């Protein structure tokens, strides 16, 4: 989970003060993001912030976001990140005025980080302490959603989809109420978008969307909401066709054009069924591809939007089926994204 535009990363960056106050357990004066690229090193940290508390103390707050699997054990990844952060941001000599350092690993997805206590020691020849490093592992999937809301931070309410959400019908209205306490419209929009994007299932997502007020629905732009609006537009078109058909039939009956009406209805029905069937098949395949990519690869928000845009340009069910089958043969999302781009380009 190292994409710059990962939805969770965006949420933390935009509301870093709230996350800092939660994790450091102290009032915060200011938070500033730091460059996470380590020069001349093939190492990249997820997020790093310079934090000043209300007492004037300076702290470095480091985040790593991790799903169920990691190419390298997290303890050793953290050791690398901490060493490079210290050598770059905390100069010698060390003393009472040196910045404090706190590192957090946010584990996402059930089972992620199980068994990681965040504290590791390597002893010397005589069992003396040779090396010790530690960080704070937070398994979001273990935290009851109600506990997160009790912290009273509206920004954290957007995380409920990543927590243990056992009673969504009770918790979701409370989370929305927390978010609605924010007076700034732009911040409310960001939190609503993050909340919907991070929800675990479409069923829960639809539950949230039904609770959104009309102005809130217009504020956010998510794949699920766009899909619901498309369905609404489709229903509207169907109603329009039905009304037009009824009026046409009535006029035809009145004018006595019985034969023409029957032929027109028959031709229109055949064409409508054929077009509707193909469009429905295409959209079903697009939805299946998007859902499979999310569950298998957890792509970044930008990658998801680009894939969705490319799929909308593809109107051949056989092409979409071929792309769907590719998902079973690939362990990386990049070939899928590249192929979707190529297929979309061919249709232009």
Question: 187 or 234: which carries more pLDDT confidence?
Answer: 187
pLDDT above 90 covers what percent of the chain? 37
- Per-residue model confidence (pLDDT) at position 124: 95
- Whether pLDDT at 266 is above 70: no
Domain range list for the chain: 7-142, 159-219, 223-347
- What are the DSSP calls for 79-136, one per residue? HHHHHHHHHHHSPSSP-TTSPEEEEEEEE-STTTTTT--SEEEEE-TTS-EEEEEE-E
- Predicted TM-score (pTM) of this structure: 0.61
> CA 305 to CA 301: how far, in whole Å?
6
Six-digit token string for 30: 């200011």
Confidence grade of residue 346 (pLDDT, cut at 50, 70, 90) = confident
Confidence grade of residue 129 (pLDDT, cut at 50, 70, 90) = very high
Confidence grade of residue 271 (pLDDT, cut at 50, 70, 90) = low
Lowest mean pLDDT among 22-31, 42-51, 258-267: 258-267
Greatest mean pLDDT among 12-26, 39-53, 185-199, 305-319 lies in 12-26
Question: 252 or 109: which carries more pLDDT confidence?
Answer: 109
- Per-residue model confidence (pLDDT) at position 267: 53
Confidence grade of residue 302 (pLDDT, cut at 50, 70, 90) = low
* Residues 132-177: tens digit of each pLDDT: 999 999 999 999 999 999 998 999 999 999 999 888 889 999 999 9
Average pLDDT over the chain reads: 79
- Per-residue model confidence (pLDDT) at position 10: 87
> DSSP character for 201?
-
- Whether pLDDT at 257 is above 50: no
Confidence grade of residue 326 (pLDDT, cut at 50, 70, 90) = confident
Nearest of 173, 215, 228, 214 to residue 195 by alpha carbon: 173
- Per-residue model confidence (pLDDT) at position 39: 46
């Amino acid at each position: 989970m190292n994409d710059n535009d990962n939805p969770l990363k965006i949420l933390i960056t935009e509301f870093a003060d709230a996350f800092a106050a939660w994790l450091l357990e102290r009032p915060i004066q200011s938070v500033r993001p730091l460059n996470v690229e380590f020069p001349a090193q093939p190492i990249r940290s997820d997020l790093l912030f310079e934090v000043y508390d209300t007492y004037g103390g300076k702290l470095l707050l480091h985040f790593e976001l991790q799903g169920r699997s990691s190419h390298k054990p997290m303890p050793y990844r953290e050791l690398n990140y901490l060493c490079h952060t210290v050598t770059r941001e905390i100069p010698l000599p060390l003393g009472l005025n040196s910045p404090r350092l706190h590192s957090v690993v946010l584990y996402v997805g059930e089972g992620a980080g199980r068994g990681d206590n965040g504290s590791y020691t390597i002893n010397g020849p005589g069992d003396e302490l040779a090396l010790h490093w530690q960080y704070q592992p937070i398994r979001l999937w273990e935290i009851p959603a109600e506990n997160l809301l009790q912290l009273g931070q509206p920004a954290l309410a957007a995380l409920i989809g990543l927590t243990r959400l056992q009673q969504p019908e009770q918790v979701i209205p409370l989370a929305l109420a927390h978010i609605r306490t924010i007076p700034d419209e732009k911040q409310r929009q960001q939190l609503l978008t993050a909340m919907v994007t991070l929800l675990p299932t479409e069923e829960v997502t639809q539950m949230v969307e039904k609770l959104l007020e009309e102005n809130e629905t217009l504020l956010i732009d998510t794949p699920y909401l766009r899909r619901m609006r498309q369905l609404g537009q489709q229903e509207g078109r169907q109603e329009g066709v039905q009304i037009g058909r009824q009026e046409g039939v009535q006029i035809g009956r009145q004018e006595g054009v019985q034969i023409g009406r029957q032929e027109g209805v028959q031709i229109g029905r055949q064409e409508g069924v054929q077009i509707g069937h193909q469009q429905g098949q295409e959209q079903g395949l697009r939805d299946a591809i998007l859902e499979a990519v999310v569950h298998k690869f957890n792509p970044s928000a930008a990658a998801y939007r680009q894939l969705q845009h490319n799929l909308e340009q593809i109107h051949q069910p056989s092409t979409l089926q071929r792309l769907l089958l590719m998902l079973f043969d690939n362990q990386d999302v990049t070939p899928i994204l590249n192929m979707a781009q190529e297929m979309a380009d061919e249709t232009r």
